[in-house]
Structure 1
Amino acid sequence: MAMQFYASPEQVQRDRSEYARKGIARGRSAVVLTYEGGILLVAENITTLRKISEIYDKIAFAAVGRYNEFEALRRGGVRMADMIGLSYDRRDVTARALANTYTQTLGAIFSETQKPYEVEICVAQVGASPEQDELYRITYDGSVMDEPGFMAMGGQSEAIANVLRERHDSAAELQVALALAAEALGSVGGENGQTRTLEAKQLEVAVLDRRRQGRAFRRIAGAALATLLGHEAVPNADLGDVDSAPPAPAEPKPTVSAASADTEGKAEKPDSEKGGKA
């Protein structure tokens, strides 16, 4: 009979943490920061797979790491938000409740399964003012942190966060905040430690617009993104829209069938004219 090797619980946890951190560090980074008009979410992304998405009216989701794992978390968050909004009230859906659920889910996966999730996520909720904005950072082991105005995830997040820490201003305009986010992401990953200049096609950008009624999430791409990266302002109406809008109202259904229309208004024949026996 083969002898099983013993590993202490502390060693198992350290091995899982190292495995998850290495997996996350291999991916490209993302940053989330507040500005005067809401919350800006920027991820370095050259694929068509989304790292940034809408969860609910005022709530967005950003993630780095293994795509299939954080996509499963995102879909679960959307289902939970929809269930709460339909069962109670749309105002009962909060980023704090979603962050608590993600914390429990990732904590259970990290402790009870052999392989932890290689993900790091952010749940952001825009408020009526920058002071009311909420940014929650949830790591692979279920730890959650309430970030003060900005955060960086994945890759060399500490170096990126240092750039944001020095120059972040919650009262900055959108083009200024986007320039800072792009500069912070480009401060790492270059050859021989050199900085990079990221173009519009290398970035995935979205905002939670605090001035917008209803769904605050807006994805910025194309000409609007290139203009903002050139430090020029873009009219609010041209920023972009949500990924998908509610379906258009259906055409009213007919209230009268075609069969009844043929005989409508015709008088009933007497029995004597039907050809039957008296």
Structure 2
Amino acid sequence: MSLPDLIVEPVVRMALGEDLGRAGDVTAALIPAEARWSAQVAARKNGVVAGLDCVRLAVRALDPSAEITFEAADGDAVEAGDVLARINANARALLSAERTALNLLGRLSGVATLTRAYVEAVAGTGARIADTRKTTPGLRALEKHAVAMGGGVNHRYGLDDAILIKDNHIAVCGGVRHAVARARAQAGHLMKIEVEIDRLDQLEDALAEEPDVVMLDNFSLADLRRAVDQAAGRAVLEASGGVTLQTVRAIAETGVDVISVGALTHSAPALDVGLDAAS
């Protein structure tokens, strides 16, 4: 499923504006104004694709008549050398849009690729891999879409779509039970409530106020297992904090429901993609 152009296009246009600057592409101006060029976008490494709409919107922002044929879709696993898109467009426009299109495609495909690695690492355990709000400013919707294309699930999108009570909220409110009780009193019937705890002895206080989710922050594997037994299905349990590809399988095998991984968006390496003359 693609994001609406209404969400993606402003990001693409902002990035194009940043690149074109005050004078436009002074190098592309060397090319005859009416020249057309056929090119292809291809993966240079194995990965998972996300962000193809960014390619379309970047090219067509500068050449609305550009002809673009996609050979892959967001969410597809691809190998090095696979063609993702074929483009015929005004040569100046295509070369001016190239870096913006590839930057966004590579960034988002990198997020999808890393997410797929985490999802595959926990396959068969029942645990789901979720992202966080540790996203690139301005790219949150696109990066969270990329997580979904990699097989992960999205945590809250912002401060307004779920209540997440963290350690500092608890400190100000005077304890876990007080914080969750206040949240329950003010939340609408559609608003989810999650509370973060960092010690096992806080779990019963949290569960007493019936939150929807309890985040177990930086728990040891032994304490994660104890928390799963103690909660006994009374709330969704989310493990978080310092999760890596090397540790995620063991975390999933404790029985937690969700594992949130900030690295999906703050540390994913871009997938190497390129644009070259059509073969």
TM score, norm. by length of structure 1: 0.21
Query: Which structure has the greater CA radius of gyration?
Result: 1
TM score, norm. by length of structure 2: 0.21
